[in-house]
Amino acid sequence: MTDQTGRSSSARGRRMADKARSGTRPPRAPRVEERDEAADIGVEARVAAGILLNAALEGRAGMDAAQAFREVSSLPAPDRAFARAVAMAALRRLGEIDQILDRKLQKGPPLAVRTILRVALAQTLVLETPAFAAVSTAVKLAERDTKTRPYKNLVNAVLRGIDREGPGLTTAESNLPEWLLARWRAAYGEATLTGLALAAREEPATDLSLKPGLDEAALAEALEGEILAGGTIRTGRRGDLASWPGFDDGVWWVQDAAAAVPVRLLAPQAGEQIVDFCAAPGGKTLQIAASGASVVALDRSAPRLKRLHENLARTDLTAEVVTVPAEDWEDDRTFDAVLLDAPCTATGTFRRNPEVLRATKPADVAKLADVQHRLLDAAAERVKPGGRLVYCVCSLEREEGETQIIAFLRRNPAFQTAPAVPADIGAPEEALTPEGWLRILPSMWAEKGGLDGFFVARLDRVA
């Protein structure tokens, strides 16, 4: 798969071209596919990769649910990791992969056959799996099922032809749905759209938030990472988190660098009373608790709060956790500060969750904007005079960000914007809007590996 300039026809050349265009990435541990035994991972792992890929294309939580399927859960841990890596690679490059396949196919084959081809090309063109291993197992996959067996020669011919002749030119923009391409082009311009498309191709590093009072430099060295603005540690390590330095000591938790910004803007202080609306999975609650403030964490989903309970125990932090929809919470307390990380389309998280680009539909934007409207009004009622409210969404859609705050300020004259200072809270300087809000884009900090997309605004209630 080549870059848009056509300068690279090999997978290695494509990687070099991508890095040259999108900035140097932090060091990372080898992927599953880069192990010496990668070629020995067999057909069952490829079956699982196809199942995970199709499950992700069917719905937002599809891949997570599919992890429990027998074809996936019964695999050895290395094979499960391989299957997930292949499925994620296919999701990130699906538009390009289909573009390449469509040039080779006179008519579209059944989905089961296309899945075999997608899985094979994700390996050879993205993960640099040896072509002989990917092609051989793809043909074996086709032979296994009576529905795909008639296509085994087609599978073999298409994959060998691509390996022999090269994939041809592709563009990063082809991985984005047309309706999002149009929206983001109109909202952010052509240059930023290209940056977003390039960011969508990349597998992100792991970001960690730390408890205060630690030797950040020593911990970053132990984790083979770097310290970002704001104190987040970014590491290229992969594998079981429980084996990483500091996990058992409870000194860090996984949280994207952008996701840590809203609490820094909220600026919780020891002894304050703070409520975190829509708290699960709980990274922001942990930040507030680590500041010494007293925090109430609300969320409607008990399963999603399970991770918060686990992390509170591991980090030895405390919070009052309440399982209830924020709008239905029957409690007459008001608070020094309220954090509302509202439900949203999550289009800003496509680096870590590429399935959101396929699962999100245009109608979802308006539907969730209505939910955000109601939650903002409910959150405002909980803010003491002189207190503060931080609203954030991990969405790139303006209806869920800027438009919400403009409308809220018209409805609530007791609140006013408290302008953010990016340098003080570990946010990209270019994220600051003229109104004093933050519009963080995944294409920012490209030289460091990017970050999730967020809209963040702090609103102070007049005393």
Active-site residue list: 394
Going through 284-334 in order, the beta strands assigned E by DSSP cover 294-299, 320-323
Residues 6+ apart with CB under 8 A from 350: 199, 200, 356, 357, 442, 453
CA angle 311, 317, 322 (to 5 degrees): 75
E strands along 99-232, which residues? 206-210, 225-227
Provide the b/e sequence for 407-440 (b: ≥16 CB within 10 Å): ebbeebeebeebebebeebbbbeebbbeeebbbb
Contacts of 406 by beta carbon, 8 Å cutoff, 6+ apart: none
Beta strands in 236-382 (DSSP E): 252-254, 273-277, 294-299, 320-323, 335-341
Whether 363 contacts 399, CB under 8 Å: no
C-alpha distances in Å from residue 98, one per residue of 105, 114, 130, 250, 326: 10, 9, 20, 43, 42
For residues 230 and 264, the answer to whether their CB atoms sit within 8 Å is yes
- How do 454-461 and 383-393 pair as beta strands? antiparallel
Residue with tokens 């057909």: 43
31 neighbors 238 (Cβ within 8 angstroms): yes
Contacts of 420 (CB under 8 A, 6+ apart): 265, 427, 432, 436, 437, 438, 456, 457, 458
